[in-house]
Structure 1
Amino acid sequence: MGCSSCGTATGGKPTGCKSNGGCSTGGCNRMNTYDWLRNLPMANTEDQCNVVEISFSKGTRKDFYRNTTLQLFEKGDLVTVEGVSGFDVGEVSLTGEIVRLQMKKYGVKEENPDMKKILRIATDRDLDQRRINKEREPEAVIRSRAIAKQLNLNMKISQVEMQADGRKATFFYIADGRVDFRELIKVYAQEFKVKVEMRQIGARQEAGKVGGIGSCGRELCCSTWLTDFKSVNTTVARYQNLSINQTKLSGQCGRLKCCLNYELDTYLDALQGFPNDCDQLQVVKGTAYLIKKDIFKNLMWYSLPDSNKQYPLTIERVRKIKSLNRQNVVPEELEPVEVTSSKTVEVEPEFVDVVGQISLRSLERADKKKRQQKKNQQQQQQQQQQQRTPATGQKQVSRQQQPAKQQGQAPQKKTEGARPQPPRHKPNRNKPQEAKKQGKTDA
């Protein structure tokens, strides 16, 4: 849900908080607390809580301030508060009676005389000065890490938070043990010209400050709403029948995921109906070992040493076999149950050949036009060849037939690269008779 100032402007982007659509994922509601006592009627206005909760750096740090002014503040107002030898600018996150519950949760007393005060509504000058000093933070992180590395300190600077007036800087660091940073503070004060405060945080707190997207696809819990970090160990994963895989069970911070504790109570309540001393069962085929417990179907899965198959057994059957084993009776079989899935099997769609069914008119027209042009060009070339061939053919025939007619011989084809052969005459079978006649006449 977006706040009241997230009106939509041109381009579909919110205009109020400038989060550009990140309200539902923690852009506006980062480390937010819902004020469910807002509409509670007050009988006596004098007993109204005068303490206001102020958040800094987009909700990564919160503190309580006393409202000594006559002005009533609402959630989302930017106010100027007392700082270390100066002032700071924050955003009002909670007002009213729910602030007393938050103070009780964190152990802060309302009558504490050391509680700082709200000075005024933030002016334009205060906001400009805060913006200028906030732009120094990324450069300060890079420079501070380089200085810590030069001094050979086993620590990591996670974040640097500048005060709105630029007189103080808080350096958040991570270290496995204690670090002697007395020399480091002197170098930081000389380098950045500010009052230095060093604050050690854990890996989970660093992930909450940096932020990110978890394996579930949502923004990290530690950066949106989770404030108390409970211890998480591998026993939690075993209760939930999860494989002990560090890469899958670890979060962005490198520690076990905090969400492993969310469903632990439900699993513990469901496991109370399962027997605890049934890790091994004796049957004729051998010893059956417990693999897992299914709290949703109330089944216990066992495996035999001679096969890799897993056998699901009901709780009553497991208790019966265990009671027989105590009486030194070994049953013949485990008698597993058949597990049927209630999910409907999705039928895969058959292959359909849609070649030729889908047509693109624009492409078809272009293709048809190209084919028509090609056909016209071929016809023109054929016509030109037909016009050239008869004239050249007549000339060749006339040239070859003229010497043939004069010599009384048939025209011959000329071959390139071959010698001209003499004309072959047919043998005259009447020659001897003509010779005889000539001889008689001569005689």
Structure 2
Amino acid sequence: MGCSSCSTGKDGQPRGCKNNGTCGTDGCNKLTVFDWLSNMSLPNGEKPFDCVEVRFKNSRKEFFRNTDNLSLSIGDVVATQAQSGHDVGMVTLVGELVKVQMKRKKVDFKDESLFKVYRKASQSDIDKWQKCRGREEEIKKRAREMAILLNLQMKISDVEFQGDGSKATFYYTAEERVDFRQLIKDMAKAFSIRIEMRQIGYRQEAQRLGGIGSCGRELCCSTWLSDFRSVSTSAARYQQLSLNPQKLAGQCGKLKCCLNYELDTYLEALKDFPSQDTKLYTEKGVAFCQKTDIFKATLWFSYKDDPANWHTLSKEQVQEILAKNKKKEKVASLEEYAADNSVINEKVAFENVVGQDSLTRFDRPKRGRNKRNRNKNRNRNRNRNQKGNQNKSRNSNKKRPAKNA
């Protein structure tokens, strides 16, 4: 994600906002929401909505009530109420759109127990907050070492300090229940702060840490995806993908969320498509389906006795044969239908003349060059042999005695 003012300069810093990815427009932040109501004025007599959305470290967002009617806008750093002390975060959404987000996340905006926004953060609040953020990596490393010494089967993935530095939340993942009471005692003694342990799933861990996916873009879960739907291997089967866990799994170790993106399109195309288990009965024998191409509406069949020889049929032809088989009629052979397909000439929309779009064009052996080198070496050796023979003949002539007159 990136806003229009965050293009990179020569020194690697953002050229426009100079805020290292936390610009005031909230265009390059995690799970950003576009405020499409920002340029619209409220009707007469309507008061602005008194709740705001505040983002803390990574993807953690919470809603707070603006009881003092502070003039807040997106990008303002504010001090908010916490269970004990105060926290510091950045405003990511204001106005009527906050009410829509609260309904979407099932948060009651009429609840009077919502935490409040104290004030806009002062410079001392920001300095203390940045100092605490600077200690997080060191404390996370030491906490991992303590967990290893106690032989705890857990992975501490992230640490988040409260804005006033009085509390730290440790996010961890584990396969089973972990007894970390001794770990909390050791960390509280070593760091002199209050400790809170919070278990998260592997998808939530990838959401918090972020990263680059196999597609080359930032992870969907850390940029815009807010709900994690279950992904099953049937989604890969419907899309005819190879069931290779190394390719289908994301950085969280689970199946990629993007497998669900095009699943509805495939299911819609498969509604009137013959099944993969379809059998065609011909006078030549029974034919089985070997391969299907959903978007080209093409199927490949082979006889039971000759599985290596495939015949290409269209979806309509297969349905026609199935209709005859349903009436207990057998067609002559599949070759008749495959011959009809060979007559149709496909229109080529693009023809690669130069071959520059091939990814494997540099892998081809350069036979012409090797042949030229081989001929050069052969000619060089032949010339060398000829010169050697001439030198031998000259030497033999010099050694031969002169004839008497």
Bin of the TM-score, shorter chain as denominator length = 0.7 to 0.9
1:83 and 1:169 map into 2 onto residues whose CA distance is: 13
1:129 Cα deviation after fit: 0.3
Closer, same or farther: CA 324–295 of 1 in aligned 2, 3 Å: same
Match of 1:203 in 2: 202
2:309 and 2:348 map into 1 onto residues whose CA distance is: 22
* Residue 348 in structure 1 maps to residue 347 in structure 2: no
Secondary structure at the counterpart of residue 43 of structure 2: coil
Match of 2:167 in 1: 168
1:194 and 1:304 map into 2 onto residues whose CA distance is: 73
1:188 and 1:349 map into 2 onto residues whose CA distance is: 62
Closer, same or farther: CA 18–243 of 1 in aligned 2, 3 Å: same
Match of 1:308 in 2: 308
Match of 2:19 in 1: 18
Tell me, yes or no, if the aligned pair for 2:292 and 2:300 is still in contact at 8 Å: yes
Secondary structure at the counterpart of residue 272 of structure 1: coil
Match of 2:244 in 1: 245
2:110 and 2:176 map into 1 onto residues whose CA distance is: 36
1:216 and 1:9 map into 2 onto residues whose CA distance is: 25
* Residue 187 in structure 1 maps to residue 209 in structure 2: no
Match of 1:138 in 2: 137
* TM-score of the superposed pair, with normalisation by structure 1: 0.72
Secondary structure at the counterpart of residue 85 of structure 1: coil
Tell me, yes or no, if the aligned pair for 2:50 and 2:69 is still in contact at 8 Å: no
1:145 Cα deviation after fit: 1.1
* Residue 318 in structure 1 maps to residue 324 in structure 2: no
Tell me, yes or no, if the aligned pair for 2:52 and 2:95 is still in contact at 8 Å: yes
Match of 1:48 in 2: 48
Secondary structure at the counterpart of residue 273 of structure 1: coil
Secondary structure at the counterpart of residue 204 of structure 1: helix
1:115 and 1:79 map into 2 onto residues whose CA distance is: 16
| Alignment map for 1:380-391 (pairs within 5 Å) | none
1:135 Cα deviation after fit: 0.9
* TM-score of the superposed pair, with normalisation by structure 2: 0.78
Q: Which runs of 5+ in 1 are unaligned?
A: 354-443
1:74 Cα deviation after fit: 0.5
Tell me, yes or no, if the aligned pair for 2:276 and 2:289 is still in contact at 8 Å: no
Q: Which runs of 5+ in 2 are unaligned?
A: 357-365, 369-405
| Alignment map for 1:219-298 (pairs within 5 Å) | 219-276=218-275, 279-298=278-297
Give the aligned residue type for 1:348: V
Structure 1 stretches of 4+ with a deviation exceeding 6 A read: 7-10
Tell me, yes or no, if the aligned pair for 1:7 and 1:16 is still in contact at 8 Å: no
Secondary structure at the counterpart of residue 270 of structure 2: helix
1:194 and 1:302 map into 2 onto residues whose CA distance is: 69
1:252 and 1:197 map into 2 onto residues whose CA distance is: 26
Closer, same or farther: CA 45–205 of 1 in aligned 2, 3 Å: farther
Match of 2:97 in 1: 98
Deviations 1:138-170 (A, max 9, x none): 111111111112222211111010112111111
1:314 Cα deviation after fit: 1.7
Aligned length: 348
* Residue 213 in structure 1 maps to residue 219 in structure 2: no
How large is the Cα RMSD of the aligned pairs? 2.8
Tell me, yes or no, if the aligned pair for 1:79 and 1:119 is still in contact at 8 Å: yes
Tell me, yes or no, if the aligned pair for 1:78 and 1:89 is still in contact at 8 Å: yes
2:74 and 2:218 map into 1 onto residues whose CA distance is: 23
2:7 and 2:219 map into 1 onto residues whose CA distance is: 27
Give the aligned residue type for 1:14: R
2:8 and 2:45 map into 1 onto residues whose CA distance is: 37
Secondary structure at the counterpart of residue 330 of structure 1: coil
